[in-house]
Amino acid sequence: MNMTVLRTRWLIATAVLAAAVVSVTAGNLIAEIAYQAVYMLICAAAWWAALRPGDAVTRRPWVLIAVGQTLLLIGDTTATVFYYFLPETDPTGWIDAPWLSGYAAIGVAIMIMARRRSGRRLREPLLDMLTLTSAAALGMWRLIVAPALEETDGQYTLGIILEASYTVGDVVIMAAVLLLVLSSGTRGAPTRLMIAAGFFRLVADIGLALAVSTETFLPVNGVVLLANALMVITALRPDRDELTRPARQTRTLHPARVVFLGLALLTAPVIAVVEGSVPGGQRMALLLATVTASGFVLTRFAVAVRQQERAEQQLIRQAAYDPLTGLANRRTLHTRMEECATGDVLLYLDLDGFKAVNDTHGHEAGDALLIEIGRRLSAAVREEDLVVRLGGDEFALLCPQSAAGTDLVPLAERILASIAEPVVYGDHELRVGTSIGVAVFREGVTTPGDLIRDADAAMYQAKRGGRGRWVLAESSGESALSLVG
């Protein structure tokens, strides 16, 4: 278990404990002050996470989340002041403006994340999100706004308009989280934390709306605190860029996605049946017919989309990966190199003695050797590094330096030692070595084409120097070692 996981669990445990204490002690001024104090710490952490060094574009959604959290805190603090110290004063507007602005800022932030990680391919996720959000909005309207309208005989008072505005705010945040979930991209801990934050925020706001409409007290401040803390814990994680990093994999239609779309289709008929707007003898028939038809349509839809996506995945893999070793191919390398930044390292490898293996033991032995070399290279690097088979007995490694941890010298020596180990093939031990050329990308100085040529030239220099060694390209300069060490 690494330190990131331990730190996240500790922060979540602390947030849950604080939320529980706030919920249990809710209802008095001391509890409100404690809530405000904890929330101030959460906002401070949000700003620290938002303003830490990094790419300005990547930071933008986190700054918006910090702004949103601050606005919500201002609204909470203003509400506390009016409730305890100015009970005769109407707080309308003073508390609603920052609260509603906070909803908007957080919703926009999460939508920006979804747009960036989907590579702007949002058509299908957007359609699914709108379907689910429309159903949820209908349900929330019936649960929260409709009862208030019934009490005023359908008249839209200022209170009802504000009630509807908060419902819209909840829908915006829910829609943003749904868009993030439905768009392509890695779904690791940051994504799960953001989903949990959106869920608890929705639960808290529905609870608060029900408390207002029924004139009962519900201790929802603890749930609000937990939701806000989970969102900020996400911002504090070192792998938070998962939420904004453009995804390379193709989207898939998860079965749960079909189920939720089906539930969305059923929302209106179910409400009609429950509310009794359909004559009693027809209600069950309507419900069964809707369920059956939706099931057939969604099943056919799921089968068709699954078939299409399998075909697309196969074509993408054939275009991007080497069929023998399963490693990325030259085309994928060129695509990834378009994103190179200063300090990224390219290692160009050419096996020494591979032709002799082919000539002595045959091409099947040569293929087995190449597969094992690919496996060893993959095991020698980090998850974010790209291992490529360029063709024949040539390989490449593209190592981005934005993530900490790679030292060039140990990496090169580790690869030399790994490839030098014999490969068992039947009763034989196949032995090869490798010569490695290394080039370091310098933004504004080196182009991707220059990087490949420099690494290739350094590799040939390593061969001329005796093989079984690595050489740093002259164009990278000795100072480049500091970028990768």
485: confidence class by pLDDT, cuts 50, 70, 90: very low
In this predicted structure, what is the pLDDT of residue 402?
A: 45
Domain ranges of the chain: 3-250, 252-320, 330-484
In this predicted structure, what is the pLDDT of residue 420?
A: 92
Name the more confident of 163 and 429. 429
Find the mean pLDDT for residues 112-125: 75
CATH number assigned to the domain with residue range 330-484, chosen from the 4 options 3.50.4.10, 3.65.10.10, 3.30.70.270, 3.40.50.10800: 3.30.70.270
Residue 311 — φ and ψ, nearest 5°? -65, -40
Q: In this model, does residue 404 exceed pLDDT 60?
A: no
CB of 365 closer than 8 Å to CB of 425: yes
Find the mean pLDDT for residues 86-91: 76
Residue 20 and residue 450: Cα distance in Å, rounded? 58
Residue 99 and residue 80: Cα distance in Å, rounded? 13
CA–centroid distance for 383 within its chain: 16
364: confidence class by pLDDT, cuts 50, 70, 90: very high
Secondary structure class of 278 (helix, strand, coil): coil
Q: Which two tokens stand for residue 80?
A: 């506390």
Residue 454 has a CB neighbour count (10 Å cut-off) of 23
Q: Which of 41-45, 69-73, 223-227 is least confident?
A: 223-227
In this predicted structure, what is the pLDDT of residue 249?
A: 52
356: confidence class by pLDDT, cuts 50, 70, 90: very high
Residues 6+ apart with CB under 8 A from 190: 234, 237, 239, 240, 242, 243
In this predicted structure, what is the pLDDT of residue 178?
A: 77
Find the mean pLDDT for residues 401-422: 78
Burial 385-421 (b: 16+ CB within 10 A, else e): bbbbbbeebbbbbbbbbeeeebebeebbeebbeebee
In this predicted structure, what is the pLDDT of residue 71?
A: 92
Q: In this model, does residue 450 exceed pLDDT 50?
A: yes
In this predicted structure, what is the pLDDT of residue 261?
A: 67
Name the more confident of 462 and 32. 462
Instruction: Round the CA-based radius of gyration of the chain to a whole number and report it.
Output: 29
Q: Which of 159-173, 374-388, 453-467 is least confident?
A: 159-173
Per-residue model confidence as pLDDT tens digits over 198-222: 888 888 877 776 666 666 666 778 8
Q: In this model, does residue 373 exceed pLDDT 80?
A: yes
Find the mean pLDDT for residues 229-242: 88
Q: What is the pTM of this model?
A: 0.57
390: confidence class by pLDDT, cuts 50, 70, 90: very high
What percentage of the chain reaches a pLDDT higher than 70?
74
Q: In this model, does residue 375 exceed pLDDT 90?
A: yes
Q: In this model, does residue 65 exceed pLDDT 50?
A: yes
CB of 471 closer than 8 Å to CB of 378: no
Name the more confident of 364 and 155. 364
Residues 6+ apart with CB under 8 A from 478: 472
352: confidence class by pLDDT, cuts 50, 70, 90: very high
364 burial via Cβ count (<10 Å: 0-12, 13-18, 19+): exposed
In this predicted structure, what is the pLDDT of residue 11?
A: 82
Per-residue model confidence as pLDDT tens digits over 246-282: 765 545 555 556 666 666 667 666 666 666 655 555 5
CA-CA-CA-CA torsion sign (402, 403, 408, 409)? positive
DSSP 8-state secondary structure symbol assigned to residue 328: B
DSSP 8-state secondary structure symbol assigned to residue 145: I
484: confidence class by pLDDT, cuts 50, 70, 90: very low
Per-residue model confidence as pLDDT tens digits over 303-313: 667 777 777 77
Q: Which two tokens stand for residue 384?
A: 């974010």
In this predicted structure, what is the pLDDT of residue 238?
A: 84
Alpha helices by DSSP H, listed for 347-447, are: 354-361, 363-380, 408-420
Mean pLDDT computed over every residue of the chain: 79
